[in-house]
Structure 1
Amino acid sequence: MGTVRRIAGAAVAVALVPVFAGTAEASSPSETASVISDWNAVASATLLGDTGKAPQEIFIYLAFTHAAMYDAVVGIHPRYEPYRRHARAPRHASATAAAAAAGHKVLETYSPYAQAALDDALAGSLAEVPDGAAKTAGIAYGERVAQDLIDLRAHDGRYAPVQYTRAPAPGVWRPTPPAFAPMAVPWLGGVTPLLIRGVAQFAPPTPPKLTSRRYTRDFAEVKALGSATSTTRTAEQTATALFFSGNVGVQVNTALRDQAAVRGLDIVDAARMFAAVNMTTLDALIVTWQTKLDRAYWRPITAIQLATTDGNPATTADPAWTPLLTTPNYPDYVSGYNAVIAASSRALENVVGPRLNLTLISTAVPGTTRHYDNGAALRADVVNARIWLGIHFRTADTEARTLGLDVADWSSHHYFRPTSHR
């Protein structure tokens, strides 16, 4: 199953890159391209500061924000197909005003604690637009598009009363030390995706049996290289691991703002890039979380400490083993970080082409950056990093990578396409 999915995903990617390459076509001179990046930064700060939301929820509301902003912009400048059809935009409306109003509407709805700051941000964006009918029409249109999206997502499975109920057993996830916290946001996998048809469309294969050679290899690798006290892991491997140990949502969206600047994207192409990446990433994360809940595969710390229970004579227990990074409170299979990086980097490739010129920051190691010319190199580093951190088996990483690539390729084939007149 995994092989078939990889081949299919690769074929779609090759076919899509020329179609979804960026364009130099300009919008109206009065439009402010930076409004999309500005509201991405506002959304990121607002959602990070929302103490009522788990870290995984940030992906949901970033995707909603950019879906609304994208539709507001392409409703006025119809260069690409909208995510959802809305009432016709007023002629000569300002897309800058529409984008800002749409972003503001989504964020004030889902993070009302930040109302004052959001109002200030909106005022700042609208100050860039001359007063008049175009500005007024743009604001009204952006708010209407955002409300359409809010209404559409009213009963989408968020916060459903889903609980993790699997009893501890060999191979089955259970809360890990030191916090022994229950599974985070178990309802996330039941949220209706934005783009794909459903979770089952991209469900990964069954993880390796505990007595398989693949599991044995994965076990030995993470035990040797992922230990907090490993003498096998090199200094460079440790640096790579720690670089990819922070907030992946912040990492990806900071890179997108840099991409918009260095590529000189206009408001339409910027809206498309941010929407394609964030909406695709959310769908990949939804599939990932449902897989975690369904497969309930144990983490390396549990597997290594309790190896005497796995029925595999080739694994040796170490009751004192701990990982380089504290294990997150959700199952191993599949890796969320890898799914996010794979989906976001492939979605970006499908929008701007294979030459990424991508600069990433680390939120875990402040002041450090890494540059990638292509997505494959980035994805390879993240697969290895999560093993070297001691929190994932290799199979959880590679299958997450495949999942993210497949979701991105399918989504790019069905959404964000140039309109027929182009």
Structure 2
Amino acid sequence: MTLTGAWWRSRGRRKRLFAGVDRLLWWIPLAMIFIAGILIASTQRQAGYADWYQHWITAAVGLAIALGLARVPVERITRWIWPIYGVTIISLVAVRLVGVSALGAQSWINIAGFHVQPSEFAKIAAILLLAQVLARHPVERPVDLVRPVVTISIPWLLVLIQPDLGTSLVFGAVLLVMTYWSGMPGAWVVLLVSPVVTSVLAGVFPWLLLAWIPLMAVMAYRTLPWKTLAPLGVLAIEGLFAVATPWLWNNFLQPHQRDRLTLFLDPNKDPLGGGYHLLQSTVGIGSGGWFGTGLLQGHLTLLRFIPEQHTDFIFSALGEETGFLGSALVVVGFVAWIWHLLQIARNARTDLEALVVIGVGAMVMFQVVVNINMTIGL
């Protein structure tokens, strides 16, 4: 066989492999993975280790698995939803018993020398099961919320007590977006989120509770079926959160979690402690200017001024080395990808397929928004 013939045969196999592949859906994440590998390498230039290439190796394995799963009908996957969900719950329980601790959280399990984080698999398992529950029982009445809330509460609670506050919040975001897509009124979404707002106001602007809590009671009266019990129930719940917040703040959250929730308002209160990460991150991003210093050329990144830059603060390396234009391009890429997911969900054949797509989009976008806003102080 000639080299030309072998090349054409190989090209034909590649065409069959990628036949029907939605290129926008795949190429944007692959581009993100590529640039992320370079940025991780940049953060490790002066470190005593270099494992940035593992990011690409993991991505290659994930890509192979994803291409395989893309050819499996969703109906076949639904047969395995409950076993998948059960295994992830067992793994989250195992984390509490034999897990590995790092950075104040016991979130990993050591399997054959590899640290595996079950909470990442739990996100997907929860989305799959929640999609199945909502496809069969859309949220049209308040009582319909019981099933999805119970479904998401088990993994959410197990992740929260690790304690991993950031990951646990993802489950809440997924629940709200997926229930809204299934038909839940927007006012109910506001009522579900309102206790969180009440907790924040109780700690920052308690006087605003005088307007906020009655407003929620009025919304409950106008949108919920029980015209007497609903407002009273909302008043009781909001009052409970307003009173319990100070106790939970002092007795439940870890010090580093309290720092993350308060020092973004004024990191200069503790510039060498809890505010150090944010100050250095904003300096690094700002130093990139319009066009950045160039990939692998960041000065703050080179000197390792920004802690945990290869993970939580990777966006600061992006801002320094690619500037405003590069950072904006990444944000636009994520927005375009999420918008494309919305189009896919709208054109899905079944409610189950649409809900899975919406769940994945909510999971990714929530993490993107939280991470980027955290690194720039918003």
- The TM-score, its normalising length taken from structure 1, stands at 0.27
Judging by fraction of residues, say which structure has more helix.
2
- The TM-score, its normalising length taken from structure 2, stands at 0.29
Instruction: Name which structure has the greater RCO, CA cutoff 8 Å, separation 6+.
Output: 1
